Chain A
């Protein structure tokens, strides 16, 4: 069996997606990657805010009270988003777009009255969405609720690509979207898992941590990990307050799927260390690395079973 790691790249969802496959001959690996990218491009159309025919664009055109039947991808993404919204007290909210737009316009230091924000909240808040399993539909409770699945959509796509690679019997594969959402399947020959470096938030420093991952999703969020060109100032508006928040420089999450690790790494930018610890106790399949700016310098918190095992 070949020892080589085959690498393939394609662009979608505003990111460069990469598929690495080990333990397979090149011709088969190429076929498997092709099947994975086919799924990626289909999901890009189904979940994109920029395609007027996508499920999220169609939801944005609904009026209060309307329902829309959803295909499996959009339904599963919203199901996950609403679950994490509830679990984290609203720290992840996929309906936050109008607030982001607002703060981008006025600037993060503008004095804004609560009443102004309350007006924006008429269209913001995941309570405005209700999923109905029986009819596989979403109902909205306000006009024109905008949904931006953001990283969660990328993570979901990574999971679906991995599912395809498994259907092709790929023994070991790493799939990532723009390096911020990934899933590690199996282990390359001679390794216990796929080595993943967590980049130090300060330029030029050695990696913060090297994780060895197998059959696990991993995602990172934070200003320093943001894609180049993203509006960094207002990148984080706390959905719980409607105001720009001082986020921690970085958070990484390990989870059974890349979709969930993506949803949580966004939420964990805003939760306190204690809240994340509680979360990881209740959900032992989740581990996290949080980086905080503290008076003495950067503090790194390694939380959850993955790190307990190592120590």
Chain B
């Protein structure tokens, strides 16, 4: 809702009349002004310096739909990044997203055809891609070959061939390609990795469990009269508007629940275990939801990993008909258990009684976990007083940024200074995860089990 306001000439027309508590109000006003005077010049000069040294990045987005808007609003939190163009075949999404950009004083050019956008927008530093999975590969390839860095949503592609092409294109063009597994930029997940490998808090890691449970969602509709013209739909590969809106359920366009949700968490298994899985055994089906959806509405997958610790078995479930406990991952070892999630309210360390005591344990914040005491998972908590305080505070603040913002910040930092800043989720790393989740579909057709070959994980 936009306000149409009567112009007010005396903005503070009531403050003269409302004199209650004048002494206090005057006192605090004076105090605030003192702080403003003391800090303002310094702040303004440093801000100006920042603008001058860090040149504004010019960014475009292809596919500002539901997930695209998440990336868009997160990017708008980041200084010195400016949207200059948006592209979508659906006007509804284009209007919606350009309105959001406009509210942040970032007027954008809009396009229906991304090729036309790449042709006309000459000075793009980066493109964010959040279209349906089957379009990721062709769009990423075109952007990279046009010399533009790309942030592309996961899953890289709904086909292994598409994923492979993306890895190769990034390698050949030398342009950056970050894949949207945003947990890879989350300080809480860095801490988890450190606890497993450096601190060895869990002892010998033996198992993992991950879940994403969510309530059944209805098929998406669209406002009447705002359909995409049939020829535009056809040209992009959709038979109907209904398919366009609900692409996630169909093999031609997406990778099903394991790619949409499971991929985020299987990615953590691969990262933390420092290897790809050797086998997956699956169950699931289209048991509850109605319609002609092609992918199962629930999947249970047991992955086996041959890690440096030895055999680790990891159970993963995604259920799209019940929401209990949402999403999180558990890592179990002989000395303890780590619970971690992108949801910052879910995170703790449980220690077995037989495990050795850590020096920081007593001071750590405790939480209850199903009737037992556990240590809250807090970034910066184990750092000693006074030790690298500024750095610790920055890390803590980073841990409390919106999760997608962190991953985007890593990408934009790498775009600015590729020599210094490394991407947190390269195409190679994401490729391993893509193979791990996309082969679940093959496992279903293959007697519910699939043995991965080592060479499959190399693009």
**A contact set with B: CB distance below 8 Å:** 27-28, 30-32, 34, 38, 42, 45-46, 51-53, 55, 57-58, 61, 64-65, 67, 69-73, 75-76, 83, 86-91, 114, 117-118, 121-122, 124-125, 127-128, 130, 133-137, 139, 141-142, 159-160, 162-163, 167-169, 183, 217, 238, 240-243, 256-260, 271, 275, 278-279, 282-285
Contacts and interface: CB of A to CB of B under 8 A. Distances in A.
Nearest to A45: B402
Given A61-B397, A67-B47, A71-B104, A257 B18 contact: no
Interface string B16-56: 11101101110111011101101110110001000000000
Contacts of B14: 87-89, 271, 275, 278-279
B28 A278 contact: no
B21 A72 contact: no
B43 A167 contact: no
A96 B126 CA distance: 42
Contacts of B224: 28, 169
Q: Is the interface of B mostly helix, strand, loop or mixed?
A: loop
B18 A58 contact: no
Contact of B24 (A117, A133, A259, A285): A117
Contact of A58 (B32, B39, B43, B401): B401
A53 B188 CA distance: 13
Contacts of A275: 14, 17-18
B43 A271 contact: no
A162 B118 CA distance: 34
18 contacts: A38-B66, A42-B70, A53-B403, A58-B400, A65-B42, A67-B43, A67-B47, A69-B79, A72-B76, A88-B14, A90-B18, A118-B24, A125-B29, A127-B32, A217-B1, A243-B21, A271-B18, A275-B17
The 3 tightest CB contacts between A and B, nearest first, are: A89-B18, A31-B221, A241-B21
Given A67-B43, A133-B105, A162 B1 contact: yes
Contacts of B78: 69
Contacts of A42: 69-70, 73
Contacts of B31: 121-122
A256 B4 contact: yes
B18 A91 contact: yes
B15 interface: yes
Contacts of A260: 3
Contact of A136 (B20, B74, B105): B105
Interface stretch (B95-103, B357-365, B416-424): B95-103
Contacts of A159: 1
Nearest to B14: A89
Contact of A282 (B8, B21, B95): B8
B458 to A, nearest CB: 36
A135 B13 contact: no
B442 interface: no
B6 interface: yes
A118 B31 CA distance: 10
B17 A89 contact: yes
Contacts of A75: 103-104
A118 B20 CA distance: 15
Nearest to A69: B79
B138 interface: no
B317 to A, nearest CB: 24
Contacts of B291: none
Given A28-B223, A282-B6, A64 B35 contact: yes
A195 B25 CA distance: 41
B11 interface: yes
Given A121-B27, A135-B79, A238-B21, 11 more contacts: A27-B221, A89-B14, A89-B15, A90-B25, A91-B18, A117-B24, A141-B39, A242-B21, A243-B21, A275-B18, A278-B17
Contacts of A27: 221
Nearest to B405: A53
A53 B400 CA distance: 5
B240 to A, nearest CB: 15
Contact of A72 (B1, B47, B100, B403): B100
Given A32-B223, A34-B220, A53 B24 contact: no
Contact of B400 (A61, A72, A76, A117): A61
A133 B220 CA distance: 37
B12 A183 contact: no
Contact of A121 (B6, B10, B24): B24
Pick from B1, B33, B69 the residue with the most CB of A within 10 Å. B1
Given A53-B400, A89-B12, A167 B221 contact: no
B24 A86 contact: no
Given A141-B36, A260-B3, A282-B8, A121 B13 contact: no
A34 to B, nearest CB: 7
